Structures are given as C-alpha cells and as structure tokens.
Amino acid sequence: MSATYRELRERAFTANMEIPRRGLAIYTFGNVSAFDRDRGVLAIKPSGVPYDRLSADDMIVVDLEGKVVEGRLRPSSDTRTHIVLYASFRGLGGVVHTHSTYATGWAQTGTPIPIYGTTHADHLAEDVPCTEVMRPDAVEGDYETETGKQIIECFRDRNPLHTPMVLVAGHGPFAWGEDAEKAVYNAAVLEEIARMAFITRTIHPGAARLPDALVRKHFDRKHGKKAYYGQK
C-alpha cells in the first residue's frame, strides 16, 4: 500500500467493516467508498471478497474516470454508481450501497418509505425517495452508470445533503454522507426507518404520515432551520 493513499484506504476499510457489524449485508453484498475530493480519487471495496477476508490493503483506489490508480483486485461492481454520485452531488465524502433487508424490501416494491414518525423526521424531512424502474435498454448499456443517473434524476428537485439516502427500484438502498463513516450511519438509519415503517404499515395499512408541524419540529431541532424540506 503506498503512503499516498494509506489513510483513504484505511478509512474505506473501516467503513466497509461496519456493514456486516451493523447487519446491513451478508457475504460480499454491498460496498462502501471513501472519497478524496482534492485528489479526485475514491477507495472502494474489491468485488467479490467477503467482509471477513477483507483488509485495508485490499481496498482499490479509483479515479473519477473509473481507472484503477492503485490496488491488486477488481473494484466493486457498483463503483461507477459511486463515481456518478461523487461527480454530481457536492459535499459527499462517502457512499454506501447495501442490501439491508427492510430497505431492500421497500426498493423491491418500488415504494418510497412514508414519513410515519419522528425517528424518520429526525433524519430527513420527506419520504425516503425511490427511483423509477430502469428501462430495459438502459439495463443493457452501462448499467452501473445508469443506476447513478437514475438516482440523480430522482434528486432533480431534492437536496442530497438534506436527504442522504435513496431506494433504487428493484435493487436496494444507497446512502451517502460528508465522510464514509457518516454514509454508513445514514445507511443504518435508513434500514431502521424502513423496518419501523414496515411494522407501522403492517399494524395499520392506512397509517397517516406524521403531520408537517411535527416533521419540521424534529428535523429543525437536529439540523437547524432549513428553508426547504427535501427541495433544493
């Protein structure tokens, strides 16, 4: 491991190891990257290596063209989706993709997660958005880049720093943050929100969304007053 990227690779490794620790994915499912915006590179988990065999030395450093800058293995199959998010959303230092059970369940039905309660409103002030299902011709093309573009399209009128998570229809969740650690935190929050919403809807299929006044109160208490809720 070169000294230049040692810190970035260690950051990516530590964040990836939080995925199994938090029960957000099994085996090789999912991936986390850490971004160094000054150098224009990210460090990401290699493809197909189970978490219990990963080391910091295995992390792959990739530039925003997708070219491997350093590393022995193949970067995660979702790398190009991570690249689209770093290139399009300002202020990101980490991106996470998981197959966490409840969030993936909502994604597989193509359903945004309704903002039912204050746990949700403490973290974001709108439903967790869900992308459109990908068109067949897009699936045949550069699938991972298209996945990123679907997310960007879904955030056309949203602020990704206010809503740091999304469901990709038929696939699973992505989350992000100012660094890789915060991105994993947001992925764990998303899974908990998804689980609570599933239980809420199961107990009462017609459960109402949290009233706007409570959404604002809880979101503002944690994040300060923001002029727009879920909007740019």
Ligand X SMILES: O=C(CO)[C@@H](O)[C@H](O)COP(=O)(O)O
Residues contributing to the site for ligand X (CB under 6 A): 28-31, 45, 47-48, 76-78, 97
Q: Report the half-sphere exposure of 44 (CA within 13 A, side-chain side).
A: 34
The one catalytic residue in 86, 102, 116, 229 is 229
Residue 122 annotated as catalytic? yes
User: Which two structure tokens, joined as six digits, stand for 77?
Assistant: 């199959």
Of 29 and 89, which has the nearer Cβ to ligand X? 29
Residue 6 phi, psi (nearest 5): -55, -50
CB of 27 to ligand X, least distance (A): 8
Q: Given the complex with ligand X, which of 110 and 220 has the nearer CB atom?
A: 110
Residue 209 near residue 47, CB atoms below 8 Å:
no
For ligand X, the closer of residues 77 and 200 by Cβ is 77
The closest of 49, 20, 46 to 33, measured between CA atoms, is 46
Report how far residue 208's alpha carbon sits from residue 214's, in angstroms, rounded to the nearest whole number.
Answer: 13
CB of 76 to ligand X, least distance (A): 3
Q: How far is the CB of 2 from ligand X (least distance, A)?
A: 23
Question: Which CB sits closer to ligand X, 31 or 163?
Answer: 31
Q: Is the Cβ of residue 49 or residue 207 nearer to ligand X in the bound state?
A: 49
Residue 165 phi/psi, 5° resolution? -165, 155
Q: Which residues of 75-94 are buried (b: 16+ CB within 10 A; e: fewer)?
A: bbebbbbbbbbbeebeebbb
Q: Are strands 31-36 and 60-63 parallel, antiparallel or unpaired?
A: unpaired
Cβ 143 to ligand X shortest distance, Å: 10
In 23-142, alpha helices (H): 79-88, 101-108, 118-121, 136-140
Residues 6 or more apart from 45 whose CB is under 8 A from it?
A: 12, 16, 31, 32, 33, 54, 58, 59, 60, 75, 76
Provide, rounded to whole angstroms, the least separation between the CB of residue 98 and ligand X. Answer: 8
Q: Which residues are catalytically annotated?
A: 122, 229
